[in-house]
Structure 1
């Protein structure tokens, strides 16, 4: 996606450090709620925030775990929250669906975008519609990556 500026957002979580395992609570083996996400260094030109959480290691291509947009800038995304408008994830539901790899350790990217406008797409939209709506409106972006492997029973 084309950005109109190249500012970098700093993305953090109180739940896990970059590159470290996503705690069980935020996965299909736990409460399956979104982890808290801190969004730092948001440009003043940002009118909204969007998040795409995905697993690029999925068997049949990148799997979308969470689409959310029109988050007000300066909002801390709390644990188990609905901070904006939710899109349809790879599970066929709206909202967050946590890591749940069939086997092995997968990487989970929480990609965050600062946009210069609010997006006019309906709740339940899929990733392609979100990306099209964001095109040309990204003023900054950043990501946080965590890993997860199911525990063997």
Structure 2
């Protein structure tokens, strides 16, 4: 074996041993561990925000990904089961971003019913005096082009489906406190 072929073979072996790039989620509107602006807060239930969905971008999808889902979930809600604030499914794998205030204006994908009982984004609105809540925005890489749900599928069922079938996911956690 020549030196060139040996180096070439060594390069291939080293590259194949590297882990695949991890899936990531970022935003120009919200930051990991930071308080969300009132513009993203729900308008109702005692909150007076603009209910704007934040911009989100994802990358590093695992091999075999055929669609993307986006969720926003509050594990600190005083319900015993958290609170689903946003569920978007059936986004094409070619899409890598949702623009700021995209809720209600999606060209592809479907927004499902949240725990507020309505379709689309429902921003943060922890009960007054309940302290800081975490809002987990997650991008899910799915092996199916279409998740078999309707706009009325219960949020907990969608969460179960995503957790049981995802090829990968990435979460950005922001916070909010109701004054």
Aligned match of 2:68: 49
Task: Say which structure, 1 or 2, has more relative contact order (CA 8 Å, 6+ apart).
Answer: 1
2:77 corresponds to which of 33, 58, 66: 58
Q: Whose strand fraction is larger, Structure 1's or Structure 2's?
A: 1
2:140 and 2:170 in contact (8 A); partners too = yes
1:67 and 1:86 in contact (8 A); partners too = yes
1:35 corresponds to which of 43, 50, 54: 54
Residue 100 in 1 paired to residue 114 in 2? no
Alignment of 1:60-99 (within 5 A): 60-61=79-80, 62-75=82-95, 76-82=97-103, 83=106, 84-99=109-124
Cα displacement string for residues 2-25 of structure 1 (whole angstroms, at most 9, x for unaligned residues): xxxx97420111012111111111
Aligned match of 2:165: 137
1:42 and 1:140 in contact (8 A); partners too = yes
CA distance in 1, matches of 2:161, 2:49: 33
Aligned match of 2:174: 146
Q: Whose helix fraction is larger, Structure 1's or Structure 2's?
A: 2
Q: Say which is worse superposed, 20-29 or 134-143, in terms of deviation.
A: 134-143
From the CA coordinates, give the structure whose radius of gyration is larger.
2
Deviation at 1:116, TM superposition (A): 1.0
Residue 11 in 1 paired to residue 25 in 2? yes
In angstroms, what is the RMSD of aligned CA positions? 1.9
Deviation at 1:87, TM superposition (A): 1.4
